[in-house]
Chain A
């Protein structure tokens, strides 16, 4: 036995494992930047290196979790694609040939170029940023510079949702609202890519599943969130609006709508003038104070803003001038009861059986009206009336880019909001809730600045160049009525382009239409690659020279990025930025904060590690340039830099209005104020001590009915979130749209040109309607029989994650996913190569068959394909050899219409319609297989990029200090 025991010892030698090694010597909180979600993170440092990054359990956004991207932040910091020095181009654009320069030279060059523009014609500067999360600074800077030509990437991403929501509700899906995750019983999600927002949705879906609430996903592709839905509805792309209006039809037909809610909180009773041929047809009938009117049972008219009035939903009113008017609700009912919205009539178009449409309508009705929620929470409404309970209808909707990125996205999003309102589910228990700082008034303000009279040499604009026009008088047009902005936002091309039209800048600047620019200044926007439609042409435009002068058609390009992205190679001057772990930032209430339905919140980033190369935070650089250009907001009256401490100084001390600055927390000299208060010199310390975020939790009585809740509205005014405590009336019928429509019909003083009249008159319908997306309507549908979409994978966001050594192992190349039955019928096998053609061009791509995709749809992962040599990847990298972008196939312009080049965009907001793409598949011959076309030319690397290692052996601190054998 002793012998055997010895033998066992021999075969099972004991390893002494140190189970309590030192984890980290420092932990710093900050905010993640691996996507748009803005989660709170804790960065653990050991011997100065990042040991690991984890979610901050106290943080309101992510409550301790992070995602696949956030947990790979170490590799973003370790990337060899990090720029290391300012660069000045020496080769041709696109060659990647640069000379390294010092910051003194870089800043002097930029200031030299910009000062000349500002002194002569400030609009010759086009300043466009990407996913910067610092738009309140960049927009302010543009306004101080005096150029109207500013926008961020919203025009590419989600302006249809933002604008439709703001004009209808004073809030919107995603950023300004969310389902009541804790109480909803039925969630219907439309076109949500696997982010927006990432962790809150995942946390919430998990909760829904545990509670047994039902989750229906309406999406052409069954991946990600759709994979765990109780029911997946694989809709045909671009038809969601029709599906939703058919649900509305069913609910109206069965009288399963919340009439009381409509009366209390919406404009359902407001009278609409019925006088076809008159200049005010379709506008609200108003009294002498400008207040909309209601029809009392007696037939007399009453002010629509007074409380307690009893009024009709249906009926003809006679106005004092003898003309007829009818309530909004009557127009709603007339339109959507029409049999053209019956499930049988829309089923084929939507690719959804009529029986399914009926069933979803029935489930919504049953959940809304039979599972009603009543919370024993007393509250006081806007008119001072006390209510003992809060009643709610637990049906919630959420929507994102599958709705937004179509040319019918604005009206489709309006249709979703119409459905929500009819069910009485806006800001009620179990429904959909505003995220602070919303609700804001609907229709919204302010109006965009940047009209010709606002733009003059050496002068700032009187406001921010983005905003919300309410009538044709608010458009940004030149004296001839032509577009005045370089992107043609707020022109008749896209009157409500509230986020600008970044996707049109390069095309228009190249064409000098409406005028040439001098300098294109971009930040964190990969516009030479995946943030452009028609990518190859975009790169050509950036390289194109005027043969008469030999100069580039876009004379100067300044670009700031932390990494060697595709766009860097096209810049003349490169200002290298830091990573997100190396700088100050603020996620501001003035911009896109992290507020929740439970109250306002904002947050900061703080430097966690020190840059090991000659780079500077872009925001610091922008503030310094602003001061050296003497922009009024960036210098003191004495002409000294106003924020010598850079962005951190600005975050603390900048005041947009008295007492209102970038951060809302710990304001006032003693840090006791929330929302409004004097700058607090110790504000950042307070944020850091609190985990780099601030939140204000609203008391229970303010948590719902915020649009009509007296206590909430008064709190919001006190905190500076809104200007007055008037109730926010939900707009079933959006009068500003009718103002534009009337102009399209020839009424008013500011009229569209003849090329645009019919378009404006058609699409600016004050009630939502569905129309076929433009590309589909114009191309030969038998020639291009399929829809083509991209989806964003959960573990990657934007092109910048291909440089992440861990994330690119998970997804280093993409395939075109084809419905299995459709693919088989075409003779496709699992891994064939095909030609994918659109009316714009063709690319060769590898395929994969799958079942969970709408049969009329093919799709792939977004932004995986890379320009060879960019991001300091090996030229043989699969991102280049096998990865591809659909962007090559998407035109930024529609085929000419009456001689006019309209953008491939929503006609109301100008949102880029990249989900409208139609394609054809042709099998590629075997000889053609193995590499994706087109093949962008390999640029050189700046010499200062660090060589990528052959083997990465990441280990933070001293190795195996804790383990012993």
Chain B
């Protein structure tokens, strides 16, 4: 049993806003996450049987693609999923050693590998499947929100963002303080009516998803033939007979 930090007024809540309206499912965020974090704070992110049958590795960010709806309104949805850095994360409270914890200063949920015993209770507790067990080292790993990028003084300020946000070719991922109602990300969520993933579970995810907009079919009226037209091809040619052009 691990406790959560006391909620503070104006609590900083760093997280991601993911735009399902524009995600094309290219997996750039998944592989950029993998390459940054492989050599990052929780690295390595091992890959088992990497060149064989059932290759399976540790990934902090995975994309799920599925279809939704029928007929004209139907869509193909690409759904990137990583740790949502919940305000009330069961993966933390369930931890018997204190290895799984939520940072008071920014709300990031991390795992302290040094005291993780690999019991996997946290992965059972997380309803989003965001925990990744490193069977090689016997410890749980997870998205750090690129904690070794976002404050990293070796990087220029514009690069102090999670790798998945930096890389996204369609700009479908945004990073910021969702605890500040006036931050860019909070305003984006308000404008686009973003929401929580499975809010009914009550874990209060910090990450938000922006919904796909409904398909916009055309509303243009059919092109109308010229009024003098009797419908024959020869007749329709007549209207250009007296048109003079210049080069």
Interface residues of A (CB under 8 A from B): 8, 10-13, 15, 17-23, 46, 51-55, 57, 62, 64-72, 74, 80, 194, 198-199, 202-203, 205-206, 209, 214, 222-232, 250-256, 259-260, 262-264, 268-269, 294, 297, 304, 306-315, 329-330, 333-334, 337-339, 358-363, 365-366, 383, 794-795, 803, 805-810, 812, 850-852, 872-874, 876-878, 881, 948-957, 959, 962-963, 965
Contact = CB atoms under 8 A, between A and B. Distances in A.
Contacts of A68: 26-28, 30-31
B50 A948 contact: yes
Interface stretch (B10-18, B33-41, B195-203): B33-41
Nearest to A53: B35
Contacts of B241: 312, 314-315
Contacts of B44: 953-955, 959
A952 B27 CA distance: 20
Interface in B208-239: 212, 215-218, 220-226, 229, 233, 236-239
Contact of B67 (A74, A851, A874, A878): A851
Nearest to A222: B76
B34 A72 contact: yes
A209 B21 CA distance: 9
B182 interface: no
19 contacts: A12-B4, A67-B169, A71-B31, A202-B170, A206-B169, A222-B76, A259-B240, A307-B247, A311-B245, A312-B245, A333-B240, A334-B233, A337-B233, A366-B220, A805-B51, A873-B52, A948-B51, A949-B50, A955-B39
Interface string B47-77: 1111111111101000101010010001111
A268 B245 CA distance: 10
Nearest to B235: A337
Question: Looking at B154, B229, B246, which has the most chain A CB atoms within 10 Å of its CB?
Answer: B246
Contact of B222 (A306, A311, A362, A876): A362
Contacts of A806: 31, 34-35, 47, 57
B215 A231 contact: yes
10 residue pairs, one from A and one from B, having the closest CB atoms: A263-B245, A68-B27, A874-B52, A202-B169, A227-B76, A337-B233, A19-B151, A254-B223, A805-B50, A948-B51
Contacts of A70: 28
B98 interface: yes
B28 A67 contact: yes
Nearest to A947: B51
A330 B243 CA distance: 12
A795 B76 contact: no
B39 A956 contact: yes
B117 to A, nearest CB: 13
B51 A803 contact: yes
B225 to A, nearest CB: 5
Given A333-B236, A358-B222, A227 B32 contact: no
Nearest to A223: B76
B205 to A, nearest CB: 21
Contacts of B74: 222, 851-852
A223 B23 CA distance: 11
Nearest to A962: B148
Given A12-B3, A805-B57, A876-B53, A333 B237 contact: yes
B246 to A, nearest CB: 5
Interface stretch (B82-90, B108-116, B124-132): B108-116
B78 interface: yes
Contact of A263 (B21, B148, B246): B246
B21 A228 contact: yes
A253 B223 contact: yes
A297 B167 contact: no
A809 B220 contact: no
Contacts of B169: 62, 65-67, 198-199, 202-203, 206
B22 interface: yes
Nearest to A7: B3
A255 B226 contact: yes
A202 B112 contact: no
Given A229-B215, A310-B244, A333-B233, 16 more contacts: A12-B3, A22-B154, A23-B152, A65-B169, A68-B27, A214-B218, A228-B21, A253-B225, A311-B246, A362-B218, A876-B52, A877-B52, A949-B50, A950-B49, A953-B136, A955-B43
Interface residues of B, number: 97
Contacts of B43: 954-955, 959
Contacts of A959: 43-44
B216 A17 contact: no
Given A19-B147, A203-B170, A806-B57, A251 B223 contact: yes
B62 to A, nearest CB: 9
Contacts of A254: 223-226
Contacts of A339: 233
B35 A71 contact: yes
A29 to B, nearest CB: 15
Contacts of A259: 240, 243, 245
A575 B153 CA distance: 45
A365 B27 CA distance: 37
Given A805-B47, A852-B76, A314 B223 contact: no
Nearest to B40: A21
Given A53-B35, A268-B245, A11 B77 contact: no
A330 B240 CA distance: 9
B176 interface: no
A618 B171 CA distance: 37
Given A209-B21, A948-B50, A262 B245 contact: yes
B50 to A, nearest CB: 4
Contacts of B41: 17-18, 21, 962-963
Question: Looking at B38, B39, B50, B158, which has the most chain A CB atoms within 10 Å of its CB?
Answer: B50
B175 interface: no
A80 B51 contact: yes
B172 interface: yes
B22 A954 contact: no
Nearest to A803: B51
Nearest to B6: A8
Contacts of A962: 41, 148
A361 B246 contact: no
B46 interface: yes
A314 B237 contact: yes
A875 to B, nearest CB: 9
Given A20-B153, A230-B215, A850-B67, A256 B223 contact: yes
Nearest to A949: B50
A260 B245 contact: yes
B233 to A, nearest CB: 4
B25 A224 contact: yes
Contact of A214 (B1, B114, B216, B240): B216
A794 to B, nearest CB: 4
A795 B136 contact: no
A124 to B, nearest CB: 39
B213 to A, nearest CB: 8
Contact of B114 (A205, A878, A965): A965
A359 B220 contact: yes
B24 interface: yes
A197 to B, nearest CB: 11
B247 A311 contact: yes
B2 interface: yes
B166 interface: yes
B168 interface: yes
Contacts of A232: 215
B101 interface: yes
Nearest to B229: A253
B75 to A, nearest CB: 7
A23 B49 CA distance: 28
Question: Looking at B27, B151, B241, which has the most chain A CB atoms within 10 Å of its CB?
Answer: B27
A877 B218 contact: no
Contacts of B240: 255, 259, 313-314, 329, 333
A534 to B, nearest CB: 29
A887 B69 CA distance: 33
Question: Looking at A202, A214, A850, which has the most chain B CB atoms within 10 Å of its CB?
Answer: A202
